[in-house]
Structure 1
Amino acid sequence: MTRHAWLKSTVALAVTLASTSAAANGLSINEQSASGMGTGFAGRSSAAEDASTLFGNPAGMSKLDRTEVVGGFATIFASTDIENAQGIFAGSNDGDMVPVATVPFGYLVTPLNDRWHAGIGVYAPFGVIGDYEKGFQGRYHGMYSGVQVVTLQPTLSYQVNERVSVGFGPTINQIKGKLTRNSPHAVAPGVGPDTLVNVKGDDFGYGFNAGVLVDINDHLRWGLTYHSKVDYALEGRTRVTGSVAPGLNGTYDAGLDFTSPESIDTSLTWAVDNAWTLYAGTTWTRWSRLDKIVIENDGVAAAYQGRIGSIVEEMQWDDILSWAVGAAYQLNPEWVLRAGFTYDPSPTNDTHRTVRIPVSDRKVFSLGAGWDVTPDLTLDVAYSYLHEAKGEINTADYTAEFSNSAHGLATQATWRF
């Protein structure tokens, strides 16, 4: 197995540790709230409509008068079309490598007194699952990816005065990942059976979310939220099977340092009148942290140190600024209707895009509704359609055009006590 082939197999674990098959670009998942999804998350930092504000802006907990419990999930139906594929090796290009995925979330927020609120949330900020067909033509750059990140966030908010509140919550993040891929035969590429590479790793990382919420006047509210970076030092193993190179088959201790990027989200919520509410927001994400990835494998024989001992991959991702607008219409005392539009540019490009994360610039159209079943129970539903611009894969042995799209459905229930 060549050093180049091994590099492509292992670096993909790093870049998919926070990848997504959902509605946020780069390495993020947006689906932490069905009520927010209905407006394209345009007012995520300023709306404070229910306990899911714990993620969107922890300062928003100060707007909740009673104890609230929110539970829900989003289901993502993604599709990939591959066109104009060419490569050195034969194979198929069926696409549709992303199975149906479900993203759950839950929150509890309660007032402690007139100024303090406490809460706790469980959600998935990052995750991916991708599974190409066995004979995929780009199999030497990726086959299966399965990554899950689960975050626990205990949170406090404080009402500074009638118009200003602040909030803070540490995050405890568990990450687990599994990656498989094929590599060309160690003696001659395309000759004999493929070498199979399987990488697994896990770790805990710690960060925080902090926010401020300001009522500019009785109709206009502004919010600002900071989601910190999270450092991971994954430990796991790399397993190589099927190679005819003497001494290469086996299991190696693997280490990988990875930092998920920080982001700043800001938005405005404008209550135009008793019926209409408008939202506008933007999010900056520091994707330039993915400049390069370094993988260390222990226990490698001296003859193979140059191939799989220490590997550096240049990513050269860029920071991005996404934006969203949305609206809500209070149809009657029980029903509210929502709509939103999001533009989410990609941090990668035609030069550095890979089959693991073949994402491009995204446009997301969203619809939603909320139903106050009783004063103590609200049900929210949302639908999103994601359309992605065509993106190119350009490697030495495989080129193709990827077109991605997705349908998302989310629902949640809010109980008040």
Structure 2
Amino acid sequence: MYKKTFPGAVALAAYAFSLQVHANGFALNEQSASGAGTAYAGRASSALDASTIFGNPAGLVKLKRAEVSGGFAVIDPSVDISGVSSDASGSNKGDSAPLAAVPFGYASTPLNDDFSVGIGVYAPYGLVNDYESSFQGRYHGSYSMVKVVTFQPTISYRINDSISVGGGVTINRIDGELKNNLATAALNPAGKDAEIKIKGDDTAVGYNLGVMVELSDAATWGLTYRSKVDYTLKGHTTVSDSPAAFGLNGRYGTSLDVTLPESVDTSLTYRFDDKWTGYLGTTWTRWSRLKAFVAENEGVPPLGLALGFGSIGEDVDWHDTWSVALGTSYQLSPQWVLRTGFAYDPSPATNENRSVRIPVGNRHSVTLGAGYSPADDLTIDFAYAYIWESTASINQENTSGLQPAYSARYDNSAHGLTAQLTYRF
């Protein structure tokens, strides 16, 4: 196991609460308003619009006309911090997660009765976590930003009347920035703590595959596999306000290898009658790929190497998770469909490895949504979600001598609103 050294300084792609609403860890589920209304319970077994490019690329061939579909989710998170114990002075406002928007867009067209193609742009991972400057846990993480944007060209093929398959290459761009303080004010003539800032980015390739099977006139089953994506983030580590004796102030080239995990999403859609449809789904995510993160810094002076700045990193030691979702829709009229759902997504982190950058507990989501089609060519979908988590305990020790210990309880919740417009040609 990697020895923790200056924890919180690295892990450019490994932390979040603020942007993710339904998915836990630091994954995002906000790629579709039509799916959000049922808490994404039938994502792998329903092809409601071109957002099936993400949900299950095999469903693309089920769309009879060319269409464009796009929208965004607005997320308003709330973080309540209590039970704080720390060797450092400061505040615990708990407002580190700002209001955020997550856009998405898709386009598709049938080539013939058996082939369809499409493209999608969406965000599978993301976070913004910005604590106040006086936050007591700032030595373990004061600012975190990670953003992944994916471009996915997709093709779908109908094998027969019952089975369709699909897949697409994913081109993924990751950008990240992390900051944290080091308790060096007593050693610094200016009376200031040192700050470490790490920035990096990379572009990497993965793929999505799917199959959709009509089990009967009423039941459809689907399975989607999203591959792992291997990144090597290149960037810089910047040290400022460090005591002159350390000789560390400056900018150093940085390299960080990280693998974002694969997942398997399967669901069942069942049409009870012309009005009612039920959805049941589960997703397995291989979070156990995330064990430790180590950034290798170039050009660090000898004292910096002795202090551990040549390789700085953190143990994560996450475990795999199974999330579940249940939803239903009701066709109120030819123009209106109503939706609702519930999802449960356990945290991949435990009390032993949870940090101030990822203070997430077991997540619960309740959703309400609707689709309105004023004409055959146009559909407007929207959904509301309320999310709450079980209390998450943080207990970060002072393993470096420069990061005062910090422990607290986090109670997280969020409101999310997603809207989408689909136009058919």
- TM-score under structure 2 length normalisation: 0.95
Shift of 1:7: 2.5
Shift of 1:146: 1.5
Q: Is the 8 A contact 1:19 1:28 kept in 2?
A: no
Deviations 1:112-168 (A, max 9, x none): 011000000000001100111110000101111122111000000000000000001
Q: Which of residues 393, 404, 407 is equivalent to 1:399?
A: 407
Give 1:352's aligned residue.
Answer: 353
Secondary structure of 1:121 counterpart: strand
Alignment of 1:211-250 (within 5 A): 211-244=210-243, 245-250=245-250
Q: Is the 8 A contact 2:246 2:303 kept in 1?
A: no
Deviations 1:302-352 (A, max 9, x none): 222141112343211100000000000000111000000000000001111
Unaligned runs of 5+ in 1: none
Note if 1:303 corresponds to 2:303.
Answer: yes
Aligned mates of 2:89, 2:191 — CA distance in 1 = 13
Q: Is the 8 A contact 2:227 2:261 kept in 1?
A: yes
Secondary structure of 2:295 counterpart: strand
Aligned mates of 1:14, 1:415 — CA distance in 2 = 35
Aligned mates of 1:74, 1:153 — CA distance in 2 = 19
Aligned mates of 1:319, 1:12 — CA distance in 2 = 18
Aligned mates of 2:254, 2:105 — CA distance in 1 = 33
Aligned mates of 2:234, 2:209 — CA distance in 1 = 29
Alignment of 1:372-387 (within 5 A): 372-387=373-388
Question: Aligned letter for 1:321?
Answer: W
Give 1:265's aligned residue.
Answer: 265
Aligned mates of 2:17, 2:213 — CA distance in 1 = 31
Aligned mates of 2:229, 2:21 — CA distance in 1 = 20
Secondary structure of 1:141 counterpart: coil
Shift of 1:20: 4.1
Deviations 1:242-292 (A, max 9, x none): 011341111000000000000000000001100000000000000000011
Shift of 1:18: 10
Question: Aligned letter for 1:349?
Answer: T
Aligned mates of 1:345, 1:17 — CA distance in 2 = 14
Secondary structure of 1:385 counterpart: strand
Deviations 1:172-217 (A, max 9, x none): 000111112211107659x931101111100001100000000001
Q: Is the 8 A contact 1:14 1:293 kept in 2?
A: no
Secondary structure of 1:224 counterpart: strand
Secondary structure of 1:55 counterpart: helix
Greater Cα offset, 6-15 or 193-202: 6-15
- TM-score under structure 1 length normalisation: 0.96
Q: Is the 8 A contact 1:197 1:239 kept in 2?
A: yes
Aligned mates of 1:31, 1:116 — CA distance in 2 = 27
Aligned mates of 2:89, 2:6 — CA distance in 1 = 21
Unaligned runs of 5+ in 2: 398-404
Aligned mates of 1:185, 1:14 — CA distance in 2 = 27
Given the superposition, is the C-alpha separation of residues 311 and 203 from structure 1 closer, same or farther in structure 2, using an over 3 Å criterion? same
Aligned mates of 1:17, 1:299 — CA distance in 2 = 30
Aligned mates of 1:210, 1:179 — CA distance in 2 = 33
Q: Is the 8 A contact 1:20 1:26 kept in 2?
A: no
Shift of 1:27: 1.9
Give 1:172's aligned residue.
Answer: 171
Aligned mates of 1:300, 1:71 — CA distance in 2 = 46
Question: Percent of aligned pairs with the same residue?
Answer: 54
Give 2:56's aligned residue.
Answer: 57
Note if 1:411 corresponds to 2:419.
Answer: yes
Alignment of 1:137-156 (within 5 A): 137-156=136-155
Aligned mates of 1:360, 1:353 — CA distance in 2 = 9
Give 1:198's aligned residue.
Answer: 197
Secondary structure of 2:303 counterpart: helix
- State the superposition RMSD in angstroms: 1.6
Give 1:22's aligned residue.
Answer: 21
Aligned mates of 1:166, 1:136 — CA distance in 2 = 50
Note if 1:322 corresponds to 2:323.
Answer: yes
Q: Is the 8 A contact 1:18 1:260 kept in 2?
A: no
Aligned mates of 2:27, 2:17 — CA distance in 1 = 6
Shift of 1:301: 0.9
Aligned mates of 1:351, 1:188 — CA distance in 2 = 31
Q: Is the 8 A contact 2:352 2:395 kept in 1?
A: yes
Give 2:46's aligned residue.
Answer: 47
Secondary structure of 1:8 counterpart: coil
Aligned mates of 2:264, 2:173 — CA distance in 1 = 22
Aligned mates of 2:236, 2:18 — CA distance in 1 = 20
Secondary structure of 2:12 counterpart: helix
